[in-house]
Amino acid sequence: MPAIEYYLDPAHFDLVTPDGKIISMQRIDDKTLEAIVFIENISPVFVGFQIDPQLIFFNVKSTLAQVGVDGIGMEYKLDQKSRSAEVRVQLRAIGELAKEMLKYIAVGAEIGKLFAADDRRRVRDPEYLSRMFGRADRWGRPLLSLGGLHGSDDLILDKIDGRTVAYLSLQVGRVTYSKEMLGFLPTLGKALVSNIKTRNMMRLHQEWHPHLPRNITDEELLLVRTLPLHIRTVFARVVDNLLADGYKHTSASILQPDTKASGDIYELFGGSKRELSDIPLEFYTLEPYREHVFFSDRDQLQSALENDDALFNAFATAPGTLQERAATFVVKGNQLLNLTAEDWIVRETRSFDFPGTTHIERQAQLVERYIEQQPTYPFLKSINDGAITSQGILMTRYFPSPLLKRMLLGDMTQRFLKGIYFQYPSLSGDGFFSSEDRALLHDLEKFAIPVFWVDDSTKKILRYAEKGGRDTGMFVPLSQLDTFHKATSIGIYGSNLMRGDFEIELRELLEGLLKMRETVNHPLLGKDKPLALITGGGPGAMEVGNKVATELGILSCANIVDFRPKQGGVVNEQNQNPFVQAKMTYRLDKLVERQAEFYLDLPIFLVGGIGTDFEFSLEEVRRKVGAQSPTPIILFGGSDYWKKKVTSRFQLNLESGTIKGSEWLSNGFFAIQSAAEGIEVYRQFLTGNLLIGKEGPIYPNGFVDMAHDKLALKQPT
């Protein structure tokens, strides 16, 4: 199993081991036992395997410490290969109750664990903790507080010797035990062997005496109390050298990040006539996934995500081949900038022939099996299970399978997943999205989970964006998102086989529109209304359109379809032209769907073949059925060409009566031979003077011939 998956295991933290059991023991005297404690099933990512052994210490169970049994690690043997450790522990009795307890400690008892006090994980800045005050986890439990969710005023943070220290004020009085506690010790000894929790049962025998002093004498255990402490974001450790002179804390000095209002009793010994007033704690950070940190707090991560090179370099660390899926979850800027192959989960997913809903149970079983094979699955499951508590981004070699939709759109995922970054749309479809992919993109957009394409072909980071009121969108350069949302869409239709001689005229036409923005005020054009030009993204006329747009500073877009040769098909290879900035891709079986998603405000037709004829008909139909309000459609190339392509069909439909009531469509097409003619059409339309639509005239050629026909203009009232 990759190391990264151990960080997702909710049963382990990387700074502590599981509890260890006594495998042999020897009584030294009535106050001392020496035991060999064996710890197994240690996480492979336990920090203690890598750091100086002197930073590792034994932490005795608090149930033992609270009856006065301290546990001091004397010798440590760690074996990373077998994921185990053997520790020689000296158990020392503090007080008469503890002497009695030593009699009931037996082989097999679980008495404590190891903690790795890695200096690199020590919390140094109080701000790291203070931002957690008043915040709660998904279950409403305080992340860090003393005395309840809003108890932050009772937790004083300071910075001492380069580390953050919290001073917990003690309540007046001290804790003692009832006489019945002696009778409970045999039960406690057996519970240690059987791994049964007894802390709440011990509380039944603890008595609070608010009037007793909080000082200490030799051979005496002092139990003191603070307000209930909640820790969900860090490990806390009692700082012995900051305690008042004469006081020492037992080795049960670690408060784990699952402490929920139970970390309120502390066990001390030593000798001092001065009363103790507070308990000093230092803190150690958790694994990044468990820090309960909000994305908005990760300034370094947000800065790194704005750096294209950082993202491309991060993806370069993903191991495996392009035939394997890979994913990781990133919650810190430093993590993103220092990714290694071990930080990724790699899976070679196998394809299934799903039997369909005629075999419901088998279909469901195979779908679940396929989902669990995805490298994104462990991260999404950990988010939903609560093992990941920090908000972050999902990085995946391929856009997530639509079968993961249920997990991606769940309540917890929506809360913790702040972005999806991928390199390739699909393993099976190469650079082309399926219709299910695009539906998932639409849903992610609606659920406010941004999706980013770390695109090798453009060497840019593109974000999926939708225009208002439309259920489709494109991947757009980050700097152009606002332009895309506001832009009026101009479209170029034409042959992929020929560039034609339209470039000069097309440039002049678009320059005329840009200039016109300064003088007109129309919903489609004005000073604050940018332009976007959309093509099919291929060569020929499409390349001319994207090239001119790019050079004029107009957002250059493309809806690119998979025209790679198919068996029985006659399609010319259409490589993406190099002038595309924003794009969406489609598989060939969704050609018609792709065409419907152009949503053009101002279409322009150049010379083209069957594909152009198809696009011409779709623009006609969109206007006929009211999916698009009437706007001028420019036909570049002169009237002779367009008469041969359009007129006979229009006149036949007219004669046969099959377009009755729709003859007015002819007044929306304008055949031009020069940019100046096109600019005039746009000027009259954008100033509200052009008679277009149902109130306009019918033209016998099926279009307005700008060389011979007079523009139909509204009469002044």
pLDDT tens track for 389-422:
999 999 999 999 999 999 999 999 999 999 999 9
Q: What is the SS3 assignment for 153-200?
A: HHEEEEEECCEEEEEEEECCCEEEECCCHHHHHHHHHHHHHHCCCCHH
Q: Give the CA distances from residue 222 to residues 173, 174, 217, in Å, rounded to whole numbers and listed in that order.
A: 10, 7, 9
User: Model-level pTM?
Assistant: 0.88
Which tokens in the block code for residue 50? 């890598």
Q: Does the pLDDT value for residue 130 go beyond 90? A: no
Q: Are 97 and 202 in contact (CB under 8 A)?
A: no
Do 293-456 and 122-173+213-287 have the same topology in CATH?
Answer: no
Q: What is the SS3 assignment for 38-94?
A: EECCCCCCCHHHCCCHHHEEEEECHHHHCCCEEEEEEEEEEECCCCEEEEEEEEEEC
- Average pLDDT over every residue of 181-205: 91
Q: What is the pLDDT of residue 153?
A: 60
Q: Are 474 and 465 in contact (CB under 8 A)?
A: yes
Q: Does the pLDDT value for residue 573 go beyond 60? A: no
> CA nearest 253: which of 46, 18, 109, 61?
61
Instruction: Give residue 572's pLDDT band: very low, low, confident or very high (50, 70, 90).
Output: low
Q: Does the pLDDT value for residue 484 go beyond 90? A: yes
The string of pLDDT tens digits covering residues 628-659 is 889 999 999 878 999 999 999 999 999 999 99
Q: What is the pLDDT of residue 421?
A: 98
Give the neighbor-by-neighbor strand order of the sheet with 32-39: 56-60, 110-116, 20-29, 32-39, 84-93, 69-79
Instruction: Give residue 258's pLDDT band: very low, low, confident or very high (50, 70, 90).
Output: confident
Q: What is the pLDDT of residue 6?
A: 81
Q: Does the pLDDT value for residue 501 go beyond 60? A: yes
Query: Which of 260-264, 476-480, 593-597 has the weakest average pLDDT?
Result: 260-264
- Average pLDDT over every residue of 306-327: 94
Looking at the domain that runs over 293-456, which CATH code has it been given? 3.40.140
Residue 286, classed as helix, strand or coil, is coil
The string of pLDDT tens digits covering residues 536-561 is 998 888 899 999 999 999 999 999 98
- Average pLDDT over every residue of 483-490: 95
Query: Which of 86-95, 319-328, 428-437 has the weakest average pLDDT?
Result: 428-437
Q: What is the SS3 assignment for 396-443?
A: EEECCCHHHHHHHCCHHHHHHEEEEEEEECCCCCCCCCCHHHHHHHHH
Q: Does the pLDDT value for residue 452 go beyond 60? A: yes
- Residue 577 DSSP code: P
Q: Does the pLDDT value for residue 222 go beyond 90? A: yes
Instruction: Give residue 147's pLDDT band: very low, low, confident or very high (50, 70, 90).
Output: confident
Q: What is the pLDDT of residue 599?
A: 87
Residue 454, classed as helix, strand or coil, is strand
> CA nearest 107: which of 192, 32, 41?
192
Residue 356, classed as helix, strand or coil, is coil
Q: What is the C-alpha separation between 484 and 465, in angstroms, rounded?
A: 8
- Average pLDDT over every residue of 338-348: 92
The string of pLDDT tens digits covering residues 10-35 is 778 999 999 999 999 999 999 999 99
State the chain's mean pLDDT as an integer. Answer: 90
Q: Are 382 and 361 in contact (CB under 8 A)?
A: no
Q: Which residue has the tokens 């260890």?
A: 20
Sequence ranges of the domains in the chain = 1-121, 122-173+213-287, 293-456
Q: What is the pLDDT of residue 261?
A: 53
What proportion of the chain, given as a percentage, has pLDDT over 90?
A: 67
What is the fold, at CATH topology level, of the domain defined by 122-173+213-287? Answer: Deoxyuridine 5'-Triphosphate Nucleotidohydrolase; Chain A (2.70.40)
> In terms of CATH architecture, what is 1-121?
Beta Barrel (2.40)
Q: Does the pLDDT value for residue 139 go beyond 70? A: yes
- Average pLDDT over every residue of 533-538: 92
